[in-house]
């Protein structure tokens, strides 16, 4: 686990805009805050390993890195290719293997459908 992500995950002391339970959480002690924090970053649980793409497209982009942690931070969002989550929202982040910046589909981030429809409403800036 990268030190950067460990620090980001433990820095969850600011108020979040949205609180979601991890879909696989067995009990409340496994729940982590998912939302946009006072620093403007979205911190949320995510599927892992997840490909980090060079652009917000599955078919027309390269895999530049991988998210291996299951609680990550995301810088901003933008619309891209339709993905398995049924929307066009993609989140920009930094991968764990090489520190490369890239995109993951909203389907890999455990945000709500409402959040994915308009992340800006919850305080996450567009890219």
Average confidence (pLDDT) over 8-20: 40
What's the whole-number average pLDDT of the chain?
A: 83
Q: What is the pLDDT, as a whole number, of residue 10?
A: 40
Cβ atoms of 120 and 126 within 8 Å: the answer is: yes
Cβ atoms of 36 and 111 within 8 Å: the answer is: no
Task: Say what the pTM is.
Answer: 0.78
Query: Which tens digits make up the pLDDT trace of 49-68?
Result: 999 999 999 988 999 999 99
Cβ atoms of 72 and 46 within 8 Å: the answer is: yes
Q: What is the pLDDT, as a whole number, of residue 96?
A: 97
């Amino acid at each position: 686990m990268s030190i950067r992500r460990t620090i980001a995950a433990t820095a969850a002391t600011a108020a979040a805009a949205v609180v979601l339970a991890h879909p696989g959480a067995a009990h409340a002690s496994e729940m982590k805050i998912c939302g946009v924090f006072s620093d403007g970053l979205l911190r949320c649980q995510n599927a892992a390993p997840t490909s980090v793409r060079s652009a917000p497209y599955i078919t027309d982009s390269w895999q530049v890195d991988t998210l291996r942690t299951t609680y990550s931070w995301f810088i901003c969002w933008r619309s891209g290719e339709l993905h398995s989550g049924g929307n066009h929202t993609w989140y920009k982040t930094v991968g764990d293997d090489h520190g490369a910046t890239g995109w993951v589909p909203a389907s890999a981030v455990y945000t709500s459908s409402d959040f994915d429809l308009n992340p800006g409403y919850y305080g996450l800036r567009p890219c």
